[in-house]
Amino acid sequence: MKVTALAGGIGAAKLLVGLAAVMPAEDITVIVNTGDDIELYGLRICPDIDTVIYTLAGIVNQETGWGIAGDTFEALKRLAEYGEPAWFNLGDRDLATHIYRTARLSDGWTLSRVTDHLRRSLGVSARVLPMTDDYAPTRVETDEGEMHLQEYFVRRRCEPRVRRVLLDQAEAAPAAPEVEDALRSADAVIVCPSNPMISIGPILAVGGVSQALRESRATVAAVTPIIGGRALKGPAAEMLRDLGHAVSAAGVAALYCDFVDLFVLDQTDAALAPEIEKLGVRTLVTNTVMTSVKDKAGLARIVLDSVTSGTAEGSGR
Amino acid sequence: MKVTALAGGIGAAKLLVGLAAVMPAEDITVIVNTGDDIELYGLRICPDIDTVIYTLAGIVNQETGWGIAGDTFEALKRLAEYGEPAWFNLGDRDLATHIYRTARLSDGWTLSRVTDHLRRSLGVSARVLPMTDDYAPTRVETDEGEMHLQEYFVRRRCEPRVRRVLLDQAEAAPAAPEVEDALRSADAVIVCPSNPMISIGPILAVGGVSQALRESRATVAAVTPIIGGRALKGPAAEMLRDLGHAVSAAGVAALYCDFVDLFVLDQTDAALAPEIEKLGVRTLVTNTVMTSVKDKAGLARIVLDSVTSGTAEGSGR
């Protein structure tokens, strides 16, 4: 069975570890958001790609969910002494990834090719694809002006209120070469528990992705990033609120109901299942909090089973 | 008194520390060789500039003479895992310098401007000028083919025999904007104890430098890089031999006699003074081995005194 996942960063990476534990990792393709990419100090930084690769490689910093375990920050400290902004944390080992990527891009490699080299170098068997080879950063319009997503997210710690997520650059970008085929030829597509607006939204906005998803024969399942009205990580709840959506699994399901067959929500939110089913989406109620490897594999297993059986075990129905 | 120094790396940096100890550092201008610059991983690396700045800033790794004291090498290790060549040692703190420089050059800054910012950030009062703002790497023709100077020097550890030092790129490059004036307006020019062929040679080859030196009203003094037939550091002795020059202070003096008024040789080589004087160059015999700060300041002081008095104290004459 071929599985294609749409992924943001930390939450997605956890589910991917689970997937790789319960099926052959070679049969997994991950299409990763690059809307949060940023250029700093002339280096191209792809936070979601790196989080996915580092996590699948087993070298991620488990405490933060991003960066490399045990990394040091000597270069960043010195860059700050030279007067460079240092609000985006880049470790020394991590910097090597950005230096390598930037050098290869400058040699004319596509981001897809660089990403493939990086994941292979780190022993990751799952195929990892950027959503696009273009540099198409997401910008956000806030009550304090328009800014790069990372400025809002990291530098401003999600303090400004978001009025609009600007995906025009993603919309103008074509999908990376293998992306559409990975969606069309998949048996199952899994939308990972990532921020719907700034992680999954940009992927869906990229040219060709939504159509390939609609035309795919795959069953499409989404795992909620919202549990009990809150995101485990990141600003998904605040952004849902600011943008006028229900701050709940049902609010996310409403954003996905056009292309999703199955919505996986947490047992905490079991009462929301009927509301979601009314959107024409099957539901699966289970534990979606992934702390241990067992949690990750367990969630991956139950989602895969449900997708392949075509029935929704433990469903609210 | 305004002093302008021509400098390569480690040996030069030691004398510069001495100079800065015995005169106002603001009155020192250092014109640094950039013929050993190299681009690796898309980053512009200027080994001699960095050695001079790090040394004057007091942060150089005293054991090696290059790099930053206590630096770590995590990024380089990871770059090697990505398949990048790792023969050129770049520490994590040091990398910040190269990242910063590359980013600013890419913004359109000149190397002069970047260098000035770096030295000021690190609290260095002496003015530090690259010989040229162009990228003009020195290549060497060896019995194993033509290669970048750093390939010969670092990667191949000076093993191939040098047939010719190729300075055509330096010859085609104009001096950086402040270089010629720094030579013309100096009261004294000091040629630091650096490799005559690959450190001082490229500076002299740059467009306008030799003429400015000839036209300068400054007394020009050179400090020998060869003591007792050997270089304290680097391949100067081997290169003098391979290129058919005498492997001695006299051999170096012969290379410099056209533009040097005073040649400073080590007491070990006192017997060579008459031979050097025959070239029409005054000599100063003293201790030129700089281990302690006292050695460095002592040598700087005696050179300055000799240059300003117009007499050669302790001279072989």
Chain A residues with CB under 8 Å of B121 CB are 81-83
Phi, psi of A108, rounded to the nearest 5 degrees: 105, 0
Q: What's the rounded Cα separation, in Å, for the pair B30 and B7?
A: 7
Q: Six-digit token pair at A170?
A: 């993603």
Helix axes A293-309, A10-22, angle to 10 degrees: 70
DSSP state, residue A161: P
Longest dimension (CA), chain B: 60
Question: How many angstroms separate the CA atoms of A228 and A266, rounded?
Answer: 8
Nearest Cα to A61, choosing from A46, A77, A72, A45? A72
Alpha-carbon distance B37 to A55, whole Å? 37
Who among B41, B93, B118 is closest to A103 (CB)?
Answer: B41
Task: Say yes or no: ipTM exceeds 0.90.
Answer: no
Helices then strands, counting H and E runs in chain B, come out as 14, 14
Residues A60-114 pLDDT 10s: 999 999 999 999 999 999 999 999 998 889 999 999 999 999 999 999 999 999 9
Secondary structure element (H or E) that encloses residue B33, with its range: none
pLDDT at A213: 94
User: Would you call B83 and A117 a contact, using CB atoms and an 8 Å cutoff?
Assistant: yes
Which is the CATH superfamily of the domain at B3-309? CofD-like domains (3.40.50.10680)
**Burial classification of residue B196, based on how many CB atoms lie within 10 Å of its CB (0-12 exposed, 13-18 middle, 19 or more buried):** buried
Residue ranges of domains in chain A: 3-309
Residue to substitute from A71, A100, A115, A120, interface B, most B β-carbons within 10 A: A100
Q: What is the 3-state secondary structure (H, E, C) of B231-299?
A: ECCCCHHHHHHHCCCCCCHHHHHHHHCCCCCEEEEEHHHHHHHHHHHCCCCEEEEECCCCCCHHHHHHH
Count the neighbouring beta carbons within 10 Å of the beta carbon of residue B175.
Answer: 25
In sequence order, the β-bridge partners of residue A28 are A3
- Check: CB of residue A242 under 8 Å from CB of residue A258: no
Contact A242, A202 (CB under 8 A): no
- Search chain A and give the residue with CA nearest B77: A93
Chain B, 45 to 74: residues with Cβ < 8 Å from chain A are 71-72, 74
pLDDT in tens, chain A (317 residues): 999 999 998 999 999 999 999 999 999 999 999 999 999 999 999 999 999 999 999 999 999 999 999 999 999 999 999 999 988 899 999 999 999 999 999 999 999 999 999 999 999 999 999 999 999 999 999 999 999 998 998 889 889 999 999 999 999 999 999 999 999 999 999 999 999 999 999 999 999 999 999 999 999 999 999 999 999 888 899 999 999 999 999 999 999 999 999 999 999 999 999 999 999 999 999 999 999 999 999 999 999 999 988 644 444 33
pTM: 0.92
CA distance A247 to A242: 10
The dihedral over CA atoms of A39, A45, A49, A52, expressed in degrees to the nearest 10, equals -140
Q: Which two tokens stand for residue B200?
A: 């001082």
Find all residues with CB under 8 Å of B312, minimum gap 6, and list them: B262, B282, B283, B284, B306
Across the interface, whether the CB atoms of B103 and A41 are under 8 A apart is answered yes
Q: Which residues of B touch A95 (CB under 8 A)?
A: 75, 92, 95, 99
* Residue closest to B281 by CA, chosen among B218, B200, B219: B219
H/E stretch holding B138:
none
Tokens of B20: 């800065």
| B252/B114 Cα distance (integer angstroms) | 32
